[in-house]
Chain A
Amino acid sequence: MSEYKTQNTHIYVTELEQASNSYLMAVVSVIAGLPLPIINVIASFFFYLAHRNASYFVRWHCIQSVLSQAVMIPFNSIAFAWTLKIMFNNSQDFLEQDTPNHYTFSGMFASEFFDSLSLYYVLYISIIILLNIVEFFAVITTAAQVRKGKNVRWFLIANITDALTSKQNRDKFRI
């Protein structure tokens, strides 16, 4: 069994900034990556990989950031796939039917699209949008709080993060 030094508990201001940046970058990548629901997770994961030799505090928050994004993947993916399915089914139906001349493609498509939306779909999408908005603002709040030096722990995700984050001191230049 290899020995390792436990991490120095003193946290520098730049480390607070690094930890906060992990959340901030997730927010920016959500905006840049819309409507694809996975871009922010990929970005957060690579941000963690770049910081895997950082201090325990920074790594902990990077992993919490990745997990907080990852929680939304299944819900967002289902919503994304469901929307695509409805759109492609509609366009397929539209191509197969005899189109009256006085209908434009976009008008026909939009009316077909909105007619075909089921109540379940509308409910699901509404909940997903609400969840994403809540998560978005929670991440922004977390970024602001971490920069101030508060260790924000997300319900349940923080416990998983505790288990995943190694307490080994990986920064060889830190004394």
Chain B
Amino acid sequence: MDSQKVDLYLMTNAKFFQPQHLNYIRERLLLLDESKWFMIQGIDLKDPTTILIVSIVAGSLGIDRFMIGDTGLGVAKLLTCGGLGIWALIDWFLIMDLTRQKNMEKLQQFLQ
């Protein structure tokens, strides 16, 4: 893939990924076929800040987990009222990195 396109993608989407993964993403995108560009553009990346706000407001209902795609854990969190508050509290500090990890997993499907 064209390096200008790759750099443009990284500039616009850097906040969705962990900084230590950006080198890996760049290398893999450069090796990628041009035909996959539109597919990568179409990936629904979640904003970590938005998920953090959802986690603070509705964390004990597991909405944050549902949003990032952890349906099973979301149901468990909902049924246990956010793990009696402990799980909800842990997720306040965890959910942003978790969101970035999920975004990376989504992108990784196209990078392989």
Instruction: State the majority secondary structure of interface residues on A.
Output: helix
For A171, give the chain B residue with the smallest CB separation: B20
Q: Is B86 an interface residue (CB 8 A)?
A: yes
Rounded to whole Å, the gap between the CB of A95 and the closest CB of chain B is: 31
Residues 1-43 of B at the A interface (beta carbon under 8 Å): 18-21, 23-25, 27
Could you tell me if A173 and B93 are in contact, using CB atoms closer than 8 angstroms? no
Could you tell me if A32 and B94 are in contact, using CB atoms closer than 8 angstroms? no
Could you tell me if B97 and A18 are in contact, using CB atoms closer than 8 angstroms? yes
For A46, give the chain B residue with the smallest CB separation: B90
For B20, B23, B104, the residue with the greatest tally of chain A CB atoms inside 10 Å of its CB is: B20
Q: Is B98 an interface residue (CB 8 A)?
A: yes
Q: Is B85 an interface residue (CB 8 A)?
A: yes
Can you report 17 A-B residue pairs in the complex whose CB atoms are below 8 A from each other? A12-B18, A14-B18, A25-B92, A28-B92, A28-B93, A29-B89, A32-B86, A46-B86, A47-B93, A47-B94, A50-B98, A55-B20, A171-B20, A171-B21, A175-B23, A175-B24, A175-B27
B contact residues vs A (CB 8 Å cutoff): 18-21, 23-25, 27, 85-87, 89-90, 92-94, 97-98, 104, 108
